[in-house]
Structure 1
Amino acid sequence: MLLLTQVIIILLAFTSQQHEATASSIVLPINKHTDAAANVLFSTHAYFDNSQYPDPRHDTPAYFNSQYHQQSLLIDLDAPFIWHYSYPHQDGCDACPYAVTCREVPCTDLRTTFSYQDPSCPPPTNHSMYEGYFDCELCPVNIISPVTGSCSQALPTYDQFMFTTSNNGKNVLFDDLYTAYPTAASTPPWTFDPFPSNVLGVIALSTSPYALPAYLHDPVNRTVGLCLPSTTSNPGVLFLGNGPYYLNPKSDVDVRSLLSYTVLLKQPDSFGYFIGVNAIVIKNRSIVIPANATSTKINTLNHYTKLRTDVYNNVVRRFSSVTKRIPRANKLAAPFGLCFNTTVNGTNVGLKVPDIDLMLQDGKKWTVSTRNSIKQVTEDVACLAVVDGGPTSEHAIVVGTYQFEDNFLLFDLEKSRLGFSSSLLRRGTSCSNLDFTVTQ
């Protein structure tokens, strides 16, 4: 199975009446771990009302009462809408008052303009694919699994989510919850059979008007701050809203002051995020990206950066040339094409290799340091962590999550720009340095 990286965020959904948050940001932990289904992923918890979503597989944390349970969702920067396991798939039709019917505008939107596009998906019809729901006139829509790539169907509903917040970018608040009301699709639990353990949905953070950022409202604006951890022991952080953002031990430095910015580009038929890359520079030599292929995609579903074959061959050739004094591994480790021996006289030694610079269209530079360019595969073997995307790849460059672990990325939909820090490790901090102790 293709190596995938997913990111899963915490999502709090309640049906009881709650007050609106006054804090400036939503703040959520991101946890990294390995899994047999997806190999590498980032996970955290979601909480739902047990009276609506009974499922014995979920646990309840100490600071919630027994009414709520947890659910995990994958982050997808491309998904056109949110989908997850929820109430229409219980017995009876109690969810009908909250369901989108086939006569409503969201039904048409989610089936056409803002739908998943895949030739394997059949045209949805105006009746439910589940027995017992034909009288409800529900609106089945197609969804694509980010793990298997297979197509199935889900039922759009008018949903309610709640999130923990921060008013200072340093601490997590539980007594000032933030409510959003997205139109999200409900799908049965068997949809997630190949998913990582306890993952029951996908949270869309794309530019689609049915993705979560479109439902953010004052005081939280349409800004997504993504900071992926590089270890399994401590979480990274996801911010929704314009900050401030602080990471220990430099708790007096707003991460926004460390960012450079580049324009976000729009691509037809895509809700994902793209930037313009003119060249890749390795030790003062440029690998020019063809003028018709400079649009670079940022993706949370690929663990390693994919390069179109012509670009990949040039990068590997140049990187091999500037590291010729480092002994090669006896055998390549799939899926990589350039690997090094990291054991000298029985002692493991760390590699120090030149930076890889992405030269952006507006003159900015995104630096990929050794930590994000070299993957230690075994005790003896480390590899250049890019993969061949094939000669007909739609995009010459698709930046994967390994290349932006411990980098802070700020997707500013208000100003249509991307903020990026390059490696935070060089700034004396990391994505795992936010205190997630919940305060009342």
Structure 2
Amino acid sequence: MASLFHFLLFCSLLFLISSSITIATTSFRPKALVLPVSKDASTLQYLAQLNQRTPLVPVKLTVDLGGQFLWVDCEQGYVSSTYQPALCGSAQCLLAKATILCQDCPFGPKLGCNNHTCNVYPDNTVIGTATNDELAIDVASIQSTDGSNPGRVVSVPKLAFACGATFILDRLASDVKGMVGLRRTGVSFPSQFSAAFRFRRKFAICLSSSTRSNGVIFFGNGPYVMLPNIDVSKSLIYTPLIFNPVSTASAYQIGDPSLEYFIGVKSIKINGKSVPLNATLLSIDKKGFGGTKISSVNRYTVVETTIYKAVIKAFVKALANVTRVASVAPFGACFSSKNIRSTRVGPAVPQIDLVLQRKRMHWATFGANSMVQVSNDVVCLGFVDGGSNPRTSIVIGGHQIEDNLLQFDLAKSRLGFSSSLLFRQTTCANFNFTSNIA
């Protein structure tokens, strides 16, 4: 009964916010939206650009699968005639669960600090730092899509976001002004867009491995078509999204669950052979420790020390015919690439499988996603030691999910994944951003 009550409450709150977020062009209601995503060459962060404010300004943002909402720096250069603080008791405050953080500005009203507004925690997950700042509302625009091409631009007049401080931009890519959160909260992009345009709470992310070509995020249902006319949505494999009972955010209220994206990994195989490891680490305990989550801010896959050592040992054994060379930080297993042939899916190295809820269901990782080229003739296994007691046992990082399409169906609480698109002779850089629908 409790879960039903919370579901009905969430639906009613989404109705409230959908009535307060209106569509600019009422004669056109998009079925899906599209956002290009670039890869920064310096930080390897994934970046999106959103047009926000009045007049509209392009705002560069770091993409964070685990982020709670959109937050931007309001201390430097934020100018908009349509900026509004979110008042206590508003639909946005209720969806952000910020009602107990309702307060007045102690030093007088100003941009980012107004009386009788609710506060939230903008969180820079790259450095694990959060602040307590004002929830606000402003205009934003984004391009629609039919899944094959970009369409007309649509506006959301009242998109909720956190008005953050400049100092939490630390270690974000150059010219980035904040982070865009895709977590399953009421004020994340997936929830707000689905409420505004009344499509399903679903989004798909496809990160490019190239720093010269854009990947893509789709909001809404498929198709998700990559050149040459390949609908990736037709070949997805689905696995449940797992709830962690304890928040994994940098700042949170006691009792909050984590709304990051966890999946149920049961075991790991290398070249078809199970890696011996402590299976209890793969489950989430009552304190929120353990399990496997997917992250776009971690560059590489980070694993608990005993799992890391077991994976390294098994991988080195399976690649015994290739010369192992000195490790290159932060990696622990590096090899001479002179005797490793190239294939359609990257270097010809042992396949790594994350076995999911059934033995025959696995997320296959091939050389393009498991190996990192650190010099002309050295490649390293892209796994990093996460220490002996990390909060999460396995964090699947950006490198491992590049050129894989991941669909997060929030309504059904499931993940659809394609495995490497390279097998299908396409990549995440192959969405056609150049043609517009009339």
TM over 0.5: yes
- Determine if contact 2:35/2:218 at 8 Å carries over to the other structure: yes
1:80 alignment partner in structure 2: 68
Instruction: Choose between structure 1 and 2: higher helix proportion.
Output: 2
TM-score by length of 2: 0.80
Where 1:436 maps in the other structure, the secondary structure is coil
- Structure 1 distance, partners of 2:210, 2:117, is 43
Amino acid at match of 2:279: P
Where 2:132 maps in the other structure, the secondary structure is strand
1:300 alignment partner in structure 2: 296
**Does residue 170 of the first structure (1) align with residue 167 of the second (2)?**
no
- Determine if contact 1:264/1:417 at 8 Å carries over to the other structure: yes
Larger CA deviation: 23-32 vs 137-146: 137-146
- Determine if contact 1:15/1:160 at 8 Å carries over to the other structure: no
- Structure 1 distance, partners of 2:201, 2:91, is 23
Where 1:233 maps in the other structure, the secondary structure is coil
Q: CA deviation at 1:43?
A: 1.9
Q: CA deviation at 1:380?
A: 2.2
- Structure 2 distance, partners of 1:386, 1:150, is 24
Where 2:66 maps in the other structure, the secondary structure is coil
Candidates 24, 36, 46, aligned match of 1:42: 46
Q: CA deviation at 1:266?
A: 1.0
Candidates 236, 258, 273, aligned match of 1:259: 236
- Structure 1 distance, partners of 2:314, 2:133, is 47
Where 1:28 maps in the other structure, the secondary structure is strand
2:135 alignment partner in structure 1: 156
Larger CA deviation: 290-299 vs 365-374: 290-299
- Structure 1 distance, partners of 2:233, 2:400, is 20
Candidates 230, 233, 236, aligned match of 2:209: 230
The count of residues paired between Structure 1 and Structure 2 equals: 389
Q: CA deviation at 1:433?
A: 0.7
1:119 alignment partner in structure 2: none
1:341 alignment partner in structure 2: 336
- Structure 2 distance, partners of 1:188, 1:43, is 19
Provide Cα deviations, 1:237-289, integer angstroms capped at 9, x if missing partner. 1111111111111x0x3211111111111111211111111111112210255
- Structure 2 distance, partners of 1:377, 1:41, is 17
- Determine if contact 1:148/1:194 at 8 Å carries over to the other structure: yes
- Determine if contact 2:244/2:262 at 8 Å carries over to the other structure: yes
- Structure 2 distance, partners of 1:15, 1:105, is 13
Provide Cα deviations, 1:6-53, integer angstroms capped at 9, x if missing partner. xxxxxxxx9994436433211111111222xxx21122322124xx4x
**Distance change >3 Å, CA 302–CA 87, structure 1 → 2:** closer
- Structure 2 distance, partners of 1:319, 1:48, is 47
1:312 alignment partner in structure 2: 308
Where 2:26 maps in the other structure, the secondary structure is coil
- Structure 1 distance, partners of 2:394, 2:169, is 29
Larger CA deviation: 179-188 vs 155-164: 179-188
Q: CA deviation at 1:87?
A: 9.2
2:86 alignment partner in structure 1: 100
Provide Cα deviations, 1:178-210, integer angstroms capped at 9, x if missing partner. 537442111255543542122112212111122
Consecutive unaligned residues in structure 1, runs of 5 or more: 1-13, 53-66, 116-123
Provide Cα deviations, 1:283-319, integer angstroms capped at 9, x if missing partner. 2210255145233101111011111111111100000
- Determine if contact 2:139/2:155 at 8 Å carries over to the other structure: no
- Structure 1 distance, partners of 2:332, 2:177, is 35
Consecutive unaligned residues in structure 2, runs of 5 or more: 1-20, 246-256, 284-290
2:272 alignment partner in structure 1: 284
**Distance change >3 Å, CA 129–CA 189, structure 1 → 2:** farther
Candidates 394, 397, 403, aligned match of 2:394: 397
- Structure 1 distance, partners of 2:391, 2:50, is 34
- Determine if contact 1:21/1:179 at 8 Å carries over to the other structure: no
**Distance change >3 Å, CA 256–CA 135, structure 1 → 2:** closer
- Structure 2 distance, partners of 1:195, 1:130, is 29
Alignment of 1:2-401 (within 5 A): 17-19=24-26, 21-35=28-42, 39-49=43-53, 52=54, 67-86=55-74, 98-102=84-88, 107=93, 110=96, 126-128=103-105, 132-133=109-110, 136-167=115-146, 169-174=147-152, 177=154, 179=156, 181-189=158-166, 191-192=168-169, 194-215=171-192, 216-217=194-195, 218-249=197-228, 251=229, 253-268=230-245, 269-287=257-275, 288=277, 290-291=279-280, 293-294=282-283, 295-329=291-325, 331-343=326-338, 350=342, 351-363=347-359, 364-401=361-398
Q: CA deviation at 1:214?
A: 1.8
- Structure 2 distance, partners of 1:24, 1:183, is 21
Instruction: Give the CA RMSD over aligned residues.
Output: 3.0
Q: CA deviation at 1:353?
A: 0.8
- Structure 1 distance, partners of 2:199, 2:94, is 28
2:9 alignment partner in structure 1: none
**Distance change >3 Å, CA 406–CA 289, structure 1 → 2:** farther
